[in-house]
Amino acid sequence: MINSGSLSHEKALPTPTETAVSFSRTGFSATSMQVLIHILMWLLLISLIMTFHLFSRPFGANRLPLPFVYKTGFLFLLNVGLFYFNANYAIPRLLFKKKLFWFVSTLIIAVIIVQAANYWFSSFMQLEARMVREFRLHAIQGAVLPAAPPFPLKIPLRNPEPRIIDLFAWLNTFIILGVSTSLTVTMKWFRDAENQKNLEKERLFSELSHLKNQINPHFFFNTLNNIYALTETNPKDAQEAIYTLSKMMRYMLYETENHQVLLSKEIDFIKHYIELMRLRLTDTVTVEFDYPSDVGSLTVAPLIFVTFIENAFKHGVSYNEKSYVRTQLKIEDKAIHFTVRNRLLKQSKIRKLEGSGIGLVNVKRRLQLLYPEEHQLRIESDQNEYIVHVTLYLS
């Protein structure tokens, strides 16, 4: 007898694998994140330079002095080059290959080259003298003249030598170098973590596919044996069984390619399987399946329950005495609860059932892979009954 109740539930059950890679699907990949971080970093650095000038401009100067622009801009370009030299060459080819001496030596040489180029450019363009002239000009205009004079002020250039040790330039370079190293190492860690997740996902999918491929031959072998027995006793029922089996094969071949299927389709598959089993049973066997009439869009791993029902029919049915297989599927407390009960016939059968049968070992492993820490499997027995409880928690 097949009974049905009513229930509606709209939330789908995600697999742990989908949860593990959801960030990769909905967020940034490591490369996209790296590009975004670089853009934000350079914009922030330029903003800091501009802010520094706004707070340090002499006597209300309302424009950037060109010597300051030249000096800061050239140093900025040098540091950008140093940043990517460190990120794209020194770190991957030296630091990551544990050539620490060569890594440090290379950076020291690179920093010296940057500072030497900065010193040469300042000397060649006379930037120190030009900056002094600009500051004095703004001081005179601000302190002496209320408005800009009708003629340009001629202030002779003095030629102070550029500072060999420019603390601002050296500090700026070391900060850029530190940011380059820390950012590159951090992004490599993120990429390695993402690659590890992808490898784990591929391994998981491979193992699940292997386990599912084991289910199909095992299931069809047992089902064909049952149909073969029917051909001798009831050819008409055998024809009906073949038709039912064809619907089940269609489901197994085309619907179970994904690691999640609609629970409603899995219920239909169980109904077809029970109908197939009932064809060969006598009146001494009671078969019941109680399930909700509406499960909405809930999903579940395919063929996760049928193995327990198959074992109940295999080990709990007798043609000579009263026996039963009672299956119940319900949804409550944010979980899918599946229970199958069958009469306990022989203790030796139970030991075999709990042992190394392909079906049970397979489904236990699939539960561990698909629902880690999100399922419960309890197998109970007394002198008269054998019970399997499976609970899948909805996240």
Query: Could you tell me the CATH number of the domain that includes residue 252?
Result: 3.30.565.10
Q: Tell me whether residue 112 is in a domain.
A: yes
Q: Tell me whether residue 140 is in a domain.
A: yes
pLDDT band for 355, please (50, 70, 90 cuts): very low
Of 255, 250, 291, 256, nearest to 270 by C-alpha is 291
Residue-level pLDDT at 300: 93
Of 204, 215, 377, nearest to 306 by C-alpha is 215
- How is residue 253 annotated by DSSP? I
Find out whether 137 and 153 touch, Cβ atoms under 8 Å.
yes
Q: Tell me whether residue 203 is in a domain.
A: no
Residue-level pLDDT at 292: 94
Q: Is the pLDDT of residue 17 over 60?
A: no
d(CA 375, CA 16): 11
Both 108 and 178 in one domain: the answer is yes
Q: Is the pLDDT of residue 221 over 70?
A: yes
Both 168 and 234 in one domain: the answer is no
Residue-level pLDDT at 245: 84
Lowest pLDDT segment from 151-160, 239-248, 274-283, 317-326: 151-160
Both 7 and 29 in one domain: the answer is no
Both 310 and 274 in one domain: the answer is yes
Lowest pLDDT segment from 83-92, 103-112, 176-185, 209-218: 209-218
Residue 2, Cβ density class (10 Å: 0-12 exposed, 13-18 middle, ≥19 buried) = middle
Q: Is the pLDDT of residue 136 over 50?
A: yes
Of 51, 107, 52, nearest to 79 by C-alpha is 107
Distance from CA of residue 125 to its chain's centroid?
53
Q: Is the pLDDT of residue 57 over 80?
A: no
Both 267 and 328 in one domain: the answer is yes
Q: Is the pLDDT of residue 393 over 50?
A: yes
The total of other beta-carbon atoms located within 10 Å of residue 94's CB is 19
Find out whether 366 and 304 touch, Cβ atoms under 8 Å.
yes
| Placement of tokens 């073949």 in the chain | 242
Find out whether 333 and 378 touch, Cβ atoms under 8 Å.
no
Q: Which of 135, 170, 196 is the last residue of a domain?
A: 196
pLDDT band for 208, please (50, 70, 90 cuts): low
Both 187 and 226 in one domain: the answer is no
Q: Tell me whether residue 230 is in a domain.
A: yes
Q: Is the pLDDT of residue 320 over 90?
A: no
Both 54 and 188 in one domain: the answer is yes
Alpha helices in 144-254 (DSSP H): 167-233, 235-250
Residue-level pLDDT at 378: 93
Both 24 and 116 in one domain: the answer is yes
Query: Number of folded domains in the chain?
Result: 2
Q: Is the pLDDT of residue 222 over 80?
A: no
- How is residue 262 annotated by DSSP? E
Q: Tell me whether residue 206 is in a domain.
A: no
Residue 171, Cβ density class (10 Å: 0-12 exposed, 13-18 middle, ≥19 buried) = exposed
Q: Which of 143, 170, 196 is the last residue of a domain?
A: 196
Element (H, E) at 280: none
- How is residue 162 annotated by DSSP? P
- Could you tell me the residue range of the domain that residue 94 belongs to? 16-196
Both 189 and 326 in one domain: the answer is no
Q: Tell me whether residue 204 is in a domain.
A: no
HSE-CB of 217 using CA atoms within 13 angstroms? 5
Residue-level pLDDT at 4: 43
Q: Is the pLDDT of residue 177 over 50?
A: yes
Distance from CA of residue 177 to its chain's centroid?
31
Q: Is the pLDDT of residue 138 over 50?
A: yes
Q: Tell me whether residue 151 is in a domain.
A: yes
Q: Which of 164, 196, 228 is the last residue of a domain?
A: 196
d(CA 69, CA 376): 68
Lowest pLDDT segment from 76-85, 122-131, 152-161: 152-161
| Placement of tokens 């060999």 in the chain | 164
- Stretch 153-168: mean pLDDT, rounded? 56
Both 6 and 47 in one domain: the answer is no
Q: Is the pLDDT of residue 228 over 70?
A: yes
- Stretch 356-365: mean pLDDT, rounded? 74
Q: Tell me whether residue 169 is in a domain.
A: yes
Q: Would you say the C-alpha torsion 272, 276, 279, 283 has a positive or negative sign?
A: negative
The total of other beta-carbon atoms located within 10 Å of residue 51's CB is 10
